[in-house]
Structures are given as C-alpha cells and as structure tokens.
Amino acid sequence: MGFKLLRVNVRKLEANEQRELKLVLEPEDRAVIHGIVKFPDGRPVEGAVVKLFHQPTRDPCKLVPVTFAFTDKCGQFLFGVPSGRNFVIKVFLLEDEVPDPPDC
C-alpha cells in the first residue's frame, strides 16, 4: 500500500524562528498505468490515442470506457486508476496522409 502525497504550505519564517510540524500521511489505494507507444522501428509515437476500458467480466466484448489520453512527444501516457480492477488498453493512431504534389 502506498500513501497520498501530502502538501503543507509553510508561511515565511522569520530569523531565528523554528517551526515544528506533525504530518500524518493518508493511505492511498489507487494504482497507476504508465506506458510508451512506439513504432516498429523503435521511434516514440506522439499524438496516439490511448483508450482505457474497465473489463468487469471475462467477456472481451463487455468493456466499459473509462477515459483516454494522448501520447506525448516521448510516446508516453499515464492513467491513475482504482486498484483491484481489470483494465484493457487500446491504442489508435491515424497518420496524416501526405498529399501527392500537384501536376504542373
């Protein structure tokens, strides 16, 4: 089990001032799915759609859409998800077609 990131704002300290803090972390039960999409030659894919589905049963056709993300310039994506569930990821990329040069 992990713990949630805790943020505490501490106002400006004066000279010779000491501040003591008691910080209590809360349990974190979420999980993370992170990945990289690459072309067959190993180059990262920027702008691919990565769709996240919850799979509540073993039936591969009974997927529930959860969210989506676009890959960054390094081909990376990231989802914060509830723990204890099954997920399926699908990736889609539509490369722009290069138009033929006009006949002159």
- pLDDT 10s digits, 52-69: 999 999 998 999 999 999
Query: What confidence tens digit (pLDDT) does each residue in 17-38 have?
Result: 999 999 888 888 889 999 999 9
Contact 50, 68 (CB under 8 A): yes
pLDDT of residue 3: 81
Q: How far is CA 99 from CA 48, 67, 90, 103, in A?
A: 21, 33, 28, 12
Structural domain boundaries in the chain: 44-94
pLDDT in tens, 81-103: 999 999 999 999 987 654 566 66
pTM of the predicted model, to two decimals? 0.68
If you average pLDDT over residues 8-13, what whole number do you get? 90
Helices (H) and strands (E) in the chain, counts: 0, 7
